Chains A and B, each alone.
Chain A
Amino acid sequence: DVKVTQSSRYLVKRTGEKVFLECVQDMDHENMFWYRQDPGLGLRLIYFSYDVKMKEKGDIPEGYSVSREKKERFSLILESASTNQTSMYLCASSSLGGPSGNTIYFGEGSWLTVV
């Protein structure tokens, strides 16, 4: 069973703080993604990564950065949190091929509130 684990389910941070959201997958997937989920806006892609140390900007990368030092781990970083970054953050992973190729698996999400 594919497992995508987001270490923090609920966080409350102050404006200006640096925030780290961690994600680990256990299926040796090449691709990893960070999405943001907001009511009425659906899921919007922040960053994604095809391989270790590789990253690509998604649709809304401003205010975020990412790190992928190991294949199984993909971190989302908010350098200086702002109230408009209050949201649900979803990590996901997928393989390039095989029986489940292209199926994207999601973590449970991290609720971030910035006050």
Chain B
Amino acid sequence: AQRVTQPEKLLSVFKGAPVELKCNYSYSGSPELFWYVQYSRQRLQLLLRHISRESIKGFTADLNKGETSFHLKKPFAQEEDSAMYYCALKDNTDKLIFGTGTRLQVFP
């Protein structure tokens, strides 16, 4: 079965601390994975995708096929990073399967 698991509903850190938002997936085949972010009162938007291997706003995510994980990391969290983060898996029919989301709170 195709599934995305985000085990943490809420992650709270202080400004400047490292952040890791966990994402595990279940998919038979070569996965295409994404991180989406939703800031307060804004639309859901793409943060990064594993294919492009880019760093956006200091965030990175590495696909680990052995552990079936795609964790989102940032070495030094900023207050403006506070948002809802969703990990998503694109299936073979172009649909996105989302995890349940993790709310990141960054305290000053």
**A residues in contact (CB < 8 Å) with B:** 4, 31, 33, 35, 40-45, 48, 50, 56, 58, 90, 92, 94, 96, 102-109
Contact = CB atoms under 8 A, between A and B. Distances in A.
A70 B21 CA distance: 39
Contacts, number: 47
Nearest to A100: B46
Interface of B: 6, 9, 32, 42-46, 49, 86, 90, 93-101
B46 A102 contact: no
Nearest to A38: B100
Contacts of B9: 40
Contacts of B99: 42
Given A90-B44, A103-B46, A106-B45, A45 B95 contact: yes
